[in-house]
Amino acid sequence: MATGHTYAAAGVNIDLAAQVKKRIARQAQSTYGPEVLSGVGFFGGLFDFKGYKNPVLVSHVDGVGTKLRIALAMGRHDTIGKDIVNHCVNDIFTCGAKPLFFLDYIAMGKLIPERVEAIVQGLATACKEAGCALISGETAEMPGIYARDDYDLAGFIIGVVEKEKIIMGKAITAGDVLIGLPSSGLHTNGYSLVRKIFGETKTKLSRRYPELGRTLGEALLEPHRCYYNQLKSYLPLVKGLAHITGGAYFKNIPRILPEGLAARIDTTSWEVPPLFRIIQKAGNIDTQEMYRVFNMGMGMVIASSRQNAKKLLKALPEAKAIGEVVKQAGDKRIIL
């Protein structure tokens, strides 16, 4: 009897995908509260939120970028999920939003159940830490689009904030203090430049640096830090929040500054972590370029009045006053 073509022979294994989804469901269900009415397995995730008088929904979508290449080279995939969740939570938190639920999209050249489970475990861990439900997602096997071992990861988040409590930086004035909260490393930005400098082979990434106390690859895979739990109680003291991601200081701080204002950053007010110094030296990178690409050790910047800045600095031991808001002179909005 003649046998025709099959989907499995074309590179897509439906039965294996079903098994993987069962693994995902177990991880996702660990993040559910009573407000989740349907999660992984149904056609759509249902979420019932209450307790808001005038709620505004806040959404964001992002990816991990080429940090995935480091994960692939190191053969470690349990931190990447944390990266995307924490990145997205931080982004919606800049306007004061509480995270409600998260969705993920994983596309692979070849479905590898253990790899998917490691990624989703990271997603679930970060969601639980932020009080956010991992409500739904999609895992796609796409031979011909991705090479066998390649994959991509994207995340989608929905949060909520009372309309009268939205933070967008509109109240920021000259004289306000800029406070930095330390990053845990590169977070999820600058990896294309890092890979150009060091490459992405296991040999290169396994080099141990005494000042890091671990290998370069391990330091580069350190998960993106989440600031939500640390800062949520102090939002009444905050005028603006800038998440230092792609574009670093030059792109992100101006997003919260009203017209006519600039940020003066004192780069001597904190010690730049060793990882960034290693990157700068190895790549012979100009200092201005470093602050244009990397967070340089500060992952979130808070704008606050001088009076409230004192309270924040006392309440947040890791925080440092790193600059101030000034009147803009010329076209520069960031002055290092």
Domain boundary among 165, 193, 209: 165
Residue 10: what pLDDT?
Answer: 63
Q: Could you list the pLDDT tens digit for every one of the 336 residues in the chain?
A: 555 665 666 666 666 666 666 666 676 777 888 887 876 766 777 888 888 999 999 999 999 999 999 999 999 999 999 999 999 999 999 999 999 999 999 999 998 889 999 999 999 999 999 999 999 888 888 988 888 889 999 999 999 999 999 999 999 999 999 999 999 999 999 999 999 999 999 999 999 999 999 999 999 999 999 999 999 999 999 999 999 999 999 999 999 999 999 999 999 999 999 999 999 999 999 999 999 999 999 999 999 999 999 999 999 999 999 999 999 988 899 999
Domain boundary among 104, 131, 165: 165
Residue 31: what pLDDT?
Answer: 83
Domain boundary among 113, 140, 165: 165
Domain with residue 252: its CATH number is: 3.90.650.10
- Give the H/E segment covering residue 139: strand 133-141
* Tokens found for residue 305: 């009045």
Range of the domain at 277: 177-335
| Residue 133 CB coordination number (10 Å) | 26
Together in a domain, 144 and 182: no
Together in a domain, 283 and 324: yes
DSSP 173-196: -TT-EEEEEE-SSSTTSSHHHHHH
Together in a domain, 328 and 192: yes
Q: What is the spatial distance between Cα 42 and Cα 65, in angstroms, rounded to a whole number?
A: 29
Residue 7 lies in a domain: no
Residue 7: what pLDDT?
Answer: 63
Together in a domain, 150 and 225: no
Residue 77 lies in a domain: yes
Residue 139 lies in a domain: yes
Together in a domain, 161 and 182: no
Residue 185 lies in a domain: yes
Q: What is the spatial distance between Cα 107 and Cα 101, in angstroms, rounded to a whole number?
A: 20
Residue 68 lies in a domain: yes
* Tokens found for residue 329: 């002179």
Together in a domain, 155 and 185: no
- Crossing angle of helices 113-130 and 80-93, in 10° steps, is 30
Identify which of 129, 127, 117 has the alpha carbon closest to the alpha carbon of residue 78: 117
Residue 44: what pLDDT?
Answer: 79
Together in a domain, 96 and 245: no
